[in-house]
Amino acid sequence: MGTLNLPQHLKSLVEDLQIVQINWQGVPIQFPKFAVYAVLNQPVYDKLVYRGGRQIGLIQFGRYTVPVLDPFRADIDLDANYAIIISHSRGNRFGLYGFTADHVEYDINIPFYHGSVARIVKDYV
């Protein structure tokens, strides 16, 4: 069987991990791009609730109610520049949650052999 040579624009899909990096209060946090459902600019919360002693924002997406949390477990910041919505699944169950962010970088690639790849993807695979 011969070797398949992929076009250059497709090689990065199998040789690199694409990540989305947010910055919140000066601290970078990285997510695998395949887990990012949406990035909302200037999020507006439909409802605010208290869970576990902290304030959480809720955003309604059709039939989904998405909790948006502070990445550092503080009360939600109502003036956050972005909310990054993350998808997750356990078995046949699907869910969404979000984190607030000051800044979002969309197109960062790191090679699969990089030492941080396992840490970045461990919660999503």
70-92 per-position pLDDT tens digit? 999 999 999 999 999 999 888 88
Q: Residue 114: inside a domain, yes or no?
A: yes
Q: Residue 36: inside a domain, yes or no?
A: yes
Q: Residue 29: inside a domain, yes or no?
A: yes
CA 55 to chain centre: 20
Q: Residue 8: inside a domain, yes or no?
A: no
Nearest-angstrom CA–CA distance, 5 and 60 = 44
| 18 compared with 5, residue with greater pLDDT | 18
Average pLDDT, the chain: 89
pLDDT of 2? 47
Give the range of the structural domain holding residue 94, as residue numbers without chain letter. Answer: 17-121
Q: Residue 25: inside a domain, yes or no?
A: yes
Q: Tell how strand 64-69 and strand 93-101 pair up.
A: parallel
pLDDT of 13? 58
pLDDT score of 125 more than 80: no
Q: Residue 12: inside a domain, yes or no?
A: no
Q: Tell how strand 47-51 and strand 54-61 pair up.
A: antiparallel
Which pair of tokens denotes residue 34? 């395949």
Q: What is the pTM of this model?
A: 0.84
Q: Residue 52: inside a domain, yes or no?
A: yes
Beta carbons within 8 Å of 122's beta carbon, 6+ residues apart: none
pLDDT of 10? 54
User: How many structural domains does the chain have?
Assistant: 1
Q: Residue 76: inside a domain, yes or no?
A: yes
State percent of the chain over pLDDT 70. 89
